[in-house]
């Protein structure tokens, strides 16, 4: 069985199929591709989809022999049409698990209706604190002494999904936004690789007493 209780294709019964969504240079994608070289990790990246034709991550995927698709927002009549097209592009790769790795768009209702519950994302803060794209800057402005990184299940909100894992990062007195964000990313990447591997190998569930708490065996 694949992650989340879904059967894998017969030709790869023990490997979870990952599709990764990207918008930028693809450092998290690179870490996932490297991890997939280890048979014990339990997953294969079978497709990479981007909203940006110039995303550097697409080059990483192609160099690794992974099929890629580009679904630009401006090629569609509206966000609903784009969301439908994105959904179909991802489903074409028959994923067991979808990872948003620096994907800078919110997925919509069509996407979540077909893939909800098996989509993970990272956030550079300890959710539910500081949602949105300015999380490190907001943490500095608020004056917190500890922030961090979160892996979460994607829902319809902005960084509001159920928490899968978190790692704390201290805020140093001489931090600026760039230095803080770099230290967050340094813990975010290995945490993502570890969590995705565990989900791939063992599946996941939600707590019977708290549906916002994701349980990893």
The answer to whether residue 181 is catalytic is no
Q: Give residue for tokens 């890629």.
A: 68
Taking residue 98's Cβ as centre, other Cβ atoms within 10 Å add up to 26
Question: 97: helix, coil or strand?
Answer: strand
Closest-CA residue to 125 (of 106, 109, 138): 138
Q: How many Å apart are CA 127 and CA 162, to the nearest integer?
A: 9
Q: Report residue 160 as tokens.
A: 């509001």
Q: 142 with 134: CB under 8 angstroms?
A: no
Give CA–CA dist 17/2, Å, rounded.
Answer: 8
Annotated catalytic residue within 76, 93, 123, 202: 123
Cβ-contact 4, 96 below 8 angstroms: yes
- Measured distance CA(83)–CA(94) in Å, rounded: 17
Query: Any idea what DSSP says for residue 213?
Result: B
Partners of 21 in the beta sheet?
A: 49, 100
DSSP string, 37-92: TSGGG-EEEEEEEES-TT-HHHHHHHHTT--EEE--GGGSSSHHHHHHHHHHHHHT
Q: Which residues are catalytic, by number?
A: 123
């Amino acid at each position: 069985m694949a992650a989340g209780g879904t059967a894998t294709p017969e030709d790869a019964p023990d490997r979870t199929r990952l599709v990764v969504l990207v918008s930028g240079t693809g450092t998290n994608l690179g870490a996932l591709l490297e991890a997939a070289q280890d048979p014990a990790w339990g997953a294969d990246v079978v497709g990479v989809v981007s909203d940006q034709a110039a995303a550097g991550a697409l080059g990483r995927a192609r160099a690794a022999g992974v099929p890629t698709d580009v679904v630009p927002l401006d090629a569609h009549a509206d966000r609903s049409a784009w969301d439908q097209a994105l959904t179909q592009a991802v489903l074409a790769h028959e994923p067991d698990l979808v990872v948003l790795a620096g994907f800078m768009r919110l997925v919509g209702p069509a996407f979540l209706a077909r893939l909800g519950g098996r989509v993970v994302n990272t956030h550079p803060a300890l959710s539910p604190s500081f949602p949105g794209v300015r999380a490190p800057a907001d943490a500095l402005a608020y004056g917190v002494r500890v922030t961090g990184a979160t892996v979460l299940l994607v829902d319809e909100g902005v960084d509001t999904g159920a928490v899968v894992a978190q790692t704390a990062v201290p805020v140093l007195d001489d931090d600026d936004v760039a230095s803080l964000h770099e230290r967050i990313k340094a813990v975010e990447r290995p945490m993502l690789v570890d969590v995705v591997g565990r989900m791939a190998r063992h599946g996941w569930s939600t707590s019977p007493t708290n549906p916002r708490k994701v349980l990893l065996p």
